[in-house]
Structure 1
C-alpha cells in the first residue's frame, strides 16, 4: 500500500445545526429546569433525523450550539447554576443524546454545563462528541472563561486526574480526527493549535455569539484557525434563545462550515435552520497536509522558538481556586474579574501592555 493509499478517508456531509435554545434561567427549581431540558432533547430527536433526511444518508456529523440545553447563567451563583443547569457525566441527558446518535448513525457534538464528582459545588463548561454507538468518545472542558471555573483554576488536581491528553483530547474516528472548541475559545490560537499538534483534522465549534452582518471577531477567528491549522471548522450558533432576558435573536445566526484553506463552504442566515451544511473531504485534507510548500503552515512551524516566552511572560495564573492542600473552593462571580485585574497589573509591570 502506498502512502497516498494510506491517506484515503471518506467524503461525507456535516451539519452545523442552528437550533433554538430554551433557557432555564427563569426556572425556580431543578425539576422545572429538567422539564425544559427534556423538551429540548425531544425536539432534537425530531429535528436531527428530519435534517438528515433532507441533506442525505451520507450525513454523518452534527454539531449543536453552545449551552443548547440551558442557555448561559445570568445572575445565578456558581453553586446555583451547578444545581439547576449542570448535568452529570452519567446522567439521563447523555443517555438521550446517545440514543439520538445511535438512532441516526451519526457523530453528535455539543456543549453543556457539566458536574464532576472530583470538584463538588463547581461545574465546567464541557464540549462532547458522541459516536454512532451512543458512547461519549470525547469530553473537553473549556479552558478560558470569563466568569466560570475552568480546569486551569484547579490545574494541579485536574492534571493529576486527567493528564494533559485529557485537557487537549482528540478522538480518532472513521470520519477523521475530531476535536472540540468552546465558543469564545476560537479567539485563542494556542488552544486550537495544541489540538492540531495532537492530530486534529476537524474542529467542532459549539458557539453562542452575536452573528451580525459585520466581520465579527469570531467570524474572523474561525477562518484564521482553519487556515493556520489546515483543518475544517464546523461552527454551530444558536437559532434563537427563548426564555431569556435578552432579545431572543441577540446571539443568533451565521453558523458556518470553513474548509482547511479558510474558505466558507456554507453559512446560515438567522433563525432555526440546518442550512450550514457541506461535504467534508478527508482525502483532500490529508493530501493537502502532506504537500510540501509555502502553505504548509503545520510543517513550517518552529514551536521551540516560542516556549520560553510563553513560560516566562505568562498572564493568568493556575490554581486560583485550589489551596496548598489541593482542596478547591467555590468562588463568587467577582473572583474572575479580580484575577483578570491582577493579570492586567502584572502585564503592565512587565511592559507587555
Structure 2
C-alpha cells in the first residue's frame, strides 16, 4: 500500500503540471521587471532574554529591512530603468538558526504564527513598496502544536501571503515528510509543492541546501514554476561552491530563473560573523549568472527578469528544452524505493515532539540499511 501511494503521488506530480496555453513559441509573452536578491545580516534571537524581547527584535528588524529595500528600489530603478517588482530575502533573516535550543522552546520563542504580527509587518512592507517580497522564517502550525516548520513565503503587493512552502529536506528540524500521512491529509500534494500564478510570473520557493536536490526544483517546474526563490545562508567563496554549481544547474535544467539571497553574516552567535556571507545571485533560465554580490550587506545582485523569454524557450522544440524532454515514468519505480523514511514523527497518527538527536539517529539507520542492502 505504501509503494502504491508513493507511485500515485509521483504520477499525480507529473500529471498536475500547470500547462501553458497552447501557442507558437514566438507569440509567448510575459512581463519584464527588475528583481533583487537582498544580501543582509541575519540577527539571532538567542541572546534575547525572553519571548517578548525576541518578538520585538524581529519586528524592528522587519522595519529596518523595509528601509533597506526602499533604498535598493530607488537605486535600481534609476540605474536600470525597469520597475523593481520582486525582492528576495535570505534564509532565517529575522531569527538565525535554532542551534541547540529545544524544538518546543524555539517554537515558542521565535517561530511565527501564520496569522502573526510578523507577517502583518512584512505585508505592510510589500504594500508600501508595491512589490512581491519573498523570504524565509520558522513558522508554527495549529495542526502540529509544539513544532515548527522552516517556511519560505511570498508576500504580494496586496500584503497577503500568497505562497507558503515548508522545507522538505532538513538535517535537524521537522519537515512535512516526517509527518507525511497527516500532512497530506491536511494540505494535499498541492500544499507540498506550491506554485503561485502572479502578474510577474509563476513563482515558487526552495529553501537553503534544498537547491542541492534536483527533484525539489523539478517538482516545482513541473507545476509551472518560472522563477525559483532561493533563500539561503551559506559559506561564500571566490571558488565555485556546491550551491553555486547547483543553482546554475537547477536554472538551465528547468528553464527557470533562480534568485538566490544569502545572508551577509549572522550576528548574535559565537560563530564568526562572516561565516555565511556572499555570492547572492540571479541566474537566468540558461544557467547564466546575470548578477552576483561580493560580501557584506548589499543589493548588488539585481537584474531584469524576462518571463516572456522563459515561456518562449519552454514552447520551442529542441535539444535544450530539457523540461519537455523528461520521461518521468522511467524513474517512478526507483524513486518509490525508500531512503529517508516518511512518518518518523507520527505515532498512531499523532505528531511526536523530537529531540534534535532524533534526526541524526534516523540518518544513521538509513545509512546502515543502505550498507546492508549493498547500495553503498
Whole-angstrom distance in 2 between the partners of 1:251 and 1:43:
20
**Structure 1 residue 274, shift from structure 2 partner:** 0.2
Match of residue 176, structure 1, among 201, 204, 208: 201
Partner of 2:17: none
For the 8 Å contact 2:26–2:312, the answer to whether it is kept is no
Partner of 2:150: 125
Structure 1, residues 328-351: CA drift from partner, whole Å, max 9, x if none?
A: 110000000000001101111221
Match of residue 58, structure 2, among 23, 33, 37: 37
Whole-angstrom distance in 2 between the partners of 1:15 and 1:95:
22
Match of residue 258, structure 1, among 283, 307, 323: 283
Structure 1, residues 37-90: CA drift from partner, whole Å, max 9, x if none?
A: 022111012111111011016110000000011000112011111011100000
Structure 1, residues 294-315: CA drift from partner, whole Å, max 9, x if none?
A: 1110111100000001112x20
Partner of 1:150: 175
**Structure 1 residue 22, shift from structure 2 partner:** 1.1
Match of residue 331, structure 2, among 302, 306, 317: 306
Aligned ranges 1:1-353 → 2 under 5 Å? 3-4=24-25, 7-56=28-77, 58-312=83-337, 314-324=338-348, 326-353=349-376
CA RMSD of aligned residues (A): 1.2
**Structure 1 residue 2, shift from structure 2 partner:** 5.9
For the 8 Å contact 2:148–2:174, the answer to whether it is kept is yes
For the 8 Å contact 2:43–2:267, the answer to whether it is kept is yes
For the 8 Å contact 2:135–2:154, the answer to whether it is kept is yes
**Structure 1 residue 244, shift from structure 2 partner:** 1.3
1:68 alignment partner, SS class: coil
Whole-angstrom distance in 1 between the partners of 2:24 and 2:130:
30
Whole-angstrom distance in 2 between the partners of 1:349 and 1:310:
19
**Structure 1 residue 4, shift from structure 2 partner:** 5.0
For the 8 Å contact 2:44–2:97, the answer to whether it is kept is yes
Whole-angstrom distance in 2 between the partners of 1:94 and 1:190:
29
Stretches of 4+ aligned residues off by more than 2 angstroms = 1-7
Whole-angstrom distance in 1 between the partners of 2:333 and 2:283:
32
Whole-angstrom distance in 2 between the partners of 1:202 and 1:344:
34
Whole-angstrom distance in 2 between the partners of 1:204 and 1:95:
21
1:209 alignment partner, SS class: coil
Whole-angstrom distance in 2 between the partners of 1:141 and 1:167:
7
Check 1:152–1:2 CA distance in 2 against 1; reply closer, same or farther (3 A cut): closer
- Compute the TM-score of the two structures, normalised by the length of structure 1: 0.97
Equivalenced residue count is 351
Whole-angstrom distance in 2 between the partners of 1:224 and 1:75:
33
**Structure 1 residue 223, shift from structure 2 partner:** 0.5
**Structure 1 residue 243, shift from structure 2 partner:** 1.1
Which ranges in structure 1 are unaligned for 5 or more consecutive residues? none
For the 8 Å contact 2:25–2:316, the answer to whether it is kept is no
Which ranges in structure 2 are unaligned for 5 or more consecutive residues? 1-21
Task: Choose 158-167 or 212-221, whichever is displaced more.
Answer: 212-221
